[in-house]
Amino acid sequence: MKSQNVSEAVVRRLPRYYRHLETLANNNVERVSSSELAEQLSLTPSQVRQDFNCFGGFGQQGYGYPVKKLYEEIGLILGLAQKFKMIIAGAGNIGRALCNHEGFHNKGFEVQALFDINENLIGQKINGKPVLPIGEMGRYIKENAIDIGVIAARRTVAQSLADEMVAAGIKAIWNFVPTDINAPVPLENVQLIDSMLVLSYRVTQH
């Protein structure tokens, strides 16, 4: 399966394909063509075919794609054959919401613990996961071989938390703080306000 030099745009579309194929599979759809996928996802048929060809292609010309097989293959490409252990830095509203999100568990992303400086939160459990002192985060990452660190703390400490996670051996970081951070590991800066501003622009210009 070839996957060298895959563009960021293609990578960003893979989860959309994955989610849509899951819906088709749940609705007992057995096959889908590139034209049907394109129409359903507001893409073009050639774009769908080009995206899949980045990974060797999955269908037969004139025959379409077997939905269940394609769903499984894209899941493998996305790394969902393995389990990922996560910790969350910040047990406030966003941290709690992420910890309670069952979709992560269903896809193999397992929250192990949350960390905070608030003594009123330390010792509590959120969705069965302990809230521990932030000072124990680095050791916990090392001792438990944590894969992904989620940052849901204050803006002023986001970069230092990322640095501590990297020093402890974290493999990837998911940042929910409204400021971009830098790290020498795979990093996703999730800017919720950016999405709202884009929505605001579209409403205003409509």
CATH code (residue 32): 1.10.10.10
The pLDDT of residue 15: 95
User: What pLDDT was estimated at residue 6?
Assistant: 87
- Tell me how far apart the alpha carbons of residues 194 and 189 are, in angstroms, rounded to a whole number: 11
Q: What is the pLDDT of residue 3?
A: 52
Q: Note whether 130 and 179 are same-domain residues.
A: yes
Distance of CA 133 to the CA centre of its chain: 25
User: Tens digit of pLDDT for each residue in 22-78?
Assistant: 999 999 999 999 999 999 999 999 999 999 999 887 766 667 899 999 999 999 999
What is the total count of domains within the chain?
Answer: 2
Residue 102: its pLDDT value, please? 87
> Which among 130, 1, 152, 136 has a CA at the least distance from the CA of 78?
1
Looking at the DSSP assignment, which residues form a beta bridge with residue 88?
Answer: 114, 150
Q: State which residues form the domain around 187.
A: 84-193
67-77 helix and 8-26 helix, angle to the nearest 10 degrees = 140
At 138, which CATH number?
A: 3.40.50.720
Tell which of 45, 77, 109 closes a domain.
77
From the list 174, 140, 179, 175, the residue with the least C-alpha distance to 156 is 179
pTM: 0.87
CB 24 within 8 A of CB 67: yes
Per DSSP (E only), the strands in 50-184 are 65-66, 84-89, 109-116, 125-126, 129-133, 148-151, 172-175
Low-confidence ranges of the chain (pLDDT < 50): 1
Question: Are residues 70 and 93 part of one domain?
Answer: no
Last residue of a domain, one of 77, 105, 125: 77
The C-alpha atoms of residue 145 and residue 86 are separated, in whole angstroms, by 9
